Structure 1
Amino acid sequence: MSIYVDFHVLQTVPPSCVNRDDTGSPKTAVYGGSVRARVSSQAWKHAMRKEFRGMFAEDDLGNRTKNVVQLVAQEMQSIDASLDEKKCLKKAADALDAAGISLKAKKKEEIKKADALFFMSNRQAKEIARLACGDTADKNDFKKALKEYPSVDIALFGRMAASDPTLNYDAASQVAHAISTHAVQNEYDYFTAVDDISEDDNAGAGHLGTVEFNSSTLYRYANVNVSELRKTLDDAADVAVVVRKFAEAFIRSMPTGKENTFANRTFPDAVYVTIRMDQPVNLCGAFEKPVRASEDGYATESEKRLAAYAKKIYSRYAAEPKAAFCIGDALSDIAQQLSLPELLDTLESNLREQVSEA
C-alpha cells in the first residue's frame, strides 16, 4: 500500500526578489494566460535543507559539493590525527575514484574535485574515510559505502551521479515551483546611497542603481511518498518523524534572495495537509483563472478557491484523503483545523498508525 502526504501552502510575500533569473529579475511564469510570480523548486529545497540543519543530527544529513575529497580527508584526520594532510587527500581521492566518482584537478598541485556537484551523506564520508585508513578495502567496498548510509536529505531529494548511475537515489519527495495565485507586474526600485565621508558638501549620491521586485500571494505545493522514503532510509529511521520535520521545514522556510534588501520573511496565510493512499494531487488548478484584486486582497479569495477546487477534484477524480489537517478558516470544512504545533503532532501520530498498518 502506498502512502502519500500532500502539502499545500498559501503564503503572501511583500515587495521582494526571492528568486532571481540570470538578469537579476524576479522569476516569473505564464499560467492561465497571465504572468505569475514564481519561485523555483530548487530555491525552496535549498531553503528547506538549511532548515534541516537545526532539526536533524549531523549524521542524518549530507552535503552537495564538488569538494568531496576534502570531506573524506577531514574525516580521515578525525580518525587518525597523525595522518599527513597530503596523504589523506591522496587516499581520499583514490577511494572516491574507486567508488565511481569522476574527479579532476586543473593543475597537479591542486586538490582534486568532483566533475559535478555530488550529494554525499556525512555517514558515507565517514565510512569511506574508515575504509581508506585501512589497507584491505577494494573498489567494491568503497562503492558499497557510497551507496549505503543515505542521509535524510538524500532520501527526500534524491541523488544523481552522471559518472555512475548505480549511485543514484530516487527522490521520495517532490516540490513544485511556487506560483502566484494572481497576475503580477514586476516593478523597479530606484535607490541611492549617500557617501558618509565626502569631500564635496554639494555632492549627490555616492551610488545609485535599480532593483526589480514584485509582491504576491504564492501557492506552494510539495509531497512525500512515505512508502518510498521508508524503503530508502535505514530500518531504524522513524519515517513519521522525518515527514513531520519535512512538513515543518516546508512551512517555515523561505529562500534568502535579497532578504537584506526587503526583509520579506513571512509565515503562510493557510496550510492544507492531506494523507492519501492513491496518488499525490497538486491543486494548482484552483488558480488557473487568476484571482482578481479586491479590498480583501488576494489571500482570502485564494484560500476559498483552494477549498472549492479540492472539493471538486475529490468529487470528480480522486478519493477523499485518508486524513486532512489545515491552518485557515476557509479550509476548515474540508480538514481538521489546528495550530502549527498541533498539525505537526497530529500528522506524525497519523503516519505512525498508517505505516504500522502498511
Structure 2
Amino acid sequence: MTQRMYIDVHVVQTVPPANLNRDDQGNPKEAIYGGVRRSRVSSQAWKRAARQHFDARAAEPDRATRTKRIISELSTRISRNTRLDREEADRISTALLAQLGLSQGKKAGDTAYLLFYGNAQLDAVGALVNDRAADLAALDDKALAEAVKELPVAEHFQAGHPVGVALFGRMVADIPKLNVDAAVQVAHALSTHETQLEFDYYTAVDDQNEKDETGAGMIGTIGFNSATLYRYATVGFAQLTENVGGDTEAALDALDRFVDSFALSAPTGYQNSFAHRTRPSLVAVVVRTDQPVNLVSAFEEPVAAEAGIQANSARRLAEEHLTATQVWGDTPLYSAASHTFTDRERRTKDTVETLTQAFGEPVSFTELRTTLRTRIATALGDQA
C-alpha cells in the first residue's frame, strides 16, 4: 500500500474587479474571517474550473461528465454504434442503467441527481450490447430487462475512473457501491484582506435609435469586488493511487495535471464583463507525510489595505509555513515555490528572502511540477 502522503498546494493570486462566483443575490460571494468581510470563491466553483481545465487537455475518452442525462448520453452511444433509432436505443439504455438503481428525476429520462462518470466508462457500458442491440430492441420491456440484467454494468462504473472522478470522488447516497472517495480537498478561496462590495451601473444604447431619441435601451447593475486571494488544495496520494487502480504512474500523471489545472484555472462568472483572468503571483507545494495543513491562519489578521498587498500576502504565507515547521517540528518531504517577485525591488526584497527561507530558491512552474513528480517517485521507490 502507498505510504501516507499529502501534497498541499498554496496559491496567492490577485484578481481585478470581478464577480467570479455569485451568491443568490447575484453578488460576489463573501465570508467573515478575522472579524472582517472577505471576498470568497467557493471550493465547488474552483473545482469545476480545474476539472474543465484538465478535461480540455485530455482525449475525449479520458474526460469526465457530471449530468442527470446519463440515459440520453448512453442512448447516443448505442444509436451511433448500432444504427438503432433513438427510441429503441432509449429503451435499451433505460434497461441497462436500471441495474444501478438510480432514482428517477422529475423530468422523464433524467436521474434525480447529477452522476459523475468517465466517458470511457459509459462507452464500455454501451459496448456491452453492440453485437445484440437489434435482438434486444425486438423484446418487450420485461424480456429486455431480463436479458440485460446479468451484464456487468455497475462494474464498469467501479473501475477505470478518469482523472476527474479519481481526484474529486463520487457520492451517490442511495447506491454506496458507486461511491468513490475523493483524493482532493479544496478550500474556499478567501481574500487576504478586507474587501468592499461595489456595483457597476451600466447602460446599453440601442444602435438603431432615431437621432432625436435619447436614453439607454437597457440599464442594470452588477456587483463586483477585487481581491488578492489565498487558495488552497491538498491531494491524498494514497487515495488517488487507489482510485486509479493502484497504478503509481497514472496517479503521478493525475497529480501533475491537477497542480497545473488548479494553479491556472479560474471560474468563468461574468468573464465577458470583467475579463478577470490572471495568473498566480505565487504557487507553493509542500509534500507532507503527517497531515494536510491549510495556512489560511496567516491571514486571520487581514493584510493592510495599501500598495503591495500581494507581496505582503506571499510573505505572510511563507512566515506561517516557517512558524508551523518550527513550532510543530514539521519536516516536509519536499517543498518548493514558483513566484513572480524579485529581490531587485526594495518593496519585494523581504518577500523574496522569506519565500526562499520557507520554500527554497524559486523555480519555474514547469520545474516545480517536474521536481515534485520526481521527489514523490523517489520517496515511493525508497519505501518499496
Which band: TM-score by shorter chain? Answer: over 0.9
Deviation at 1:162, TM superposition (A): 2.4
Bigger Cα displacement from structure 2, 272-281 vs 195-204 = 195-204
Deviation at 1:200, TM superposition (A): 4.9
Report the equivalent of 1:50: 52
- Distance in 1 (CA, whole Å) between partners of 2:86 and 2:215 is 54
- Distance in 2 (CA, whole Å) between partners of 1:355 and 1:323 is 13
Which amino acid is 1:14 matched to? Answer: P
Report the equivalent of 1:40: 42
Report the equivalent of 1:103: 104
Which amino acid is 1:341 matched to? Answer: T
Contact 2:55–2:64 at 8 Å: present in 1 too? no
Q: Secondary structure at the match of 1:103?
A: coil
Q: Secondary structure at the match of 1:114?
A: coil
Report the equivalent of 1:120: 117
- Distance in 2 (CA, whole Å) between partners of 1:318 and 1:191 is 54
| 1:272 correspondence with 2:273 | no
Bigger Cα displacement from structure 2, 326-335 vs 15-24 = 326-335
1:152-201 deviations in whole A, cap 9, x for unaligned? 10110010112312211110000100000000111111111111111252
Report the equivalent of 1:159: 170
Aligned residues: 352
Q: How do 1:270-309 and structure 2 match up within 5 A?
A: 270-294=282-306, 296-309=307-320
Which amino acid is 1:33 matched to? Answer: G
Q: Secondary structure at the match of 2:152?
A: helix
Bigger Cα displacement from structure 2, 138-147 vs 27-36 = 138-147
Report the equivalent of 1:11: 13
Report the equivalent of 2:71: 69
Contact 1:131–1:137 at 8 Å: present in 2 too? no
Sequence identity, in percent? Answer: 39
Q: Secondary structure at the match of 1:256?
A: coil
| 1:185 correspondence with 2:182 | no
| 1:347 correspondence with 2:359 | no
Stretches of structure 2 that go unaligned for 5 or more consecutive residues are 137-146, 340-351
Report the equivalent of 2:140: none
Q: Secondary structure at the match of 2:373?
A: helix
In structure 2, relative to structure 1, the CA distance for the partners of 1:193 and 1:3 (3 Å cut) is same
Deviation at 1:352, TM superposition (A): 1.9
Stretches of structure 1 that go unaligned for 5 or more consecutive residues are none
In structure 2, relative to structure 1, the CA distance for the partners of 1:313 and 1:271 (3 Å cut) is same
Q: TM-score, normalised by structure 2?
A: 0.88
- Distance in 1 (CA, whole Å) between partners of 2:114 and 2:208 is 44
Deviation at 1:202, TM superposition (A): 4.1
- Distance in 1 (CA, whole Å) between partners of 2:76 and 2:67 is 14
Contact 2:159–2:245 at 8 Å: present in 1 too? no
Which amino acid is 1:160 matched to? Answer: M
Which amino acid is 1:97 matched to? Answer: A
Report the equivalent of 2:139: none
1:275-319 deviations in whole A, cap 9, x for unaligned? 11111110000000100122x331111111111111111112251
- Distance in 2 (CA, whole Å) between partners of 1:104 and 1:17 is 32
Deviation at 1:83, TM superposition (A): 1.9
Deviation at 1:104, TM superposition (A): 4.4
1:194-231 deviations in whole A, cap 9, x for unaligned? 11111252411121111111000000000100111001
- Distance in 2 (CA, whole Å) between partners of 1:93 and 1:312 is 57
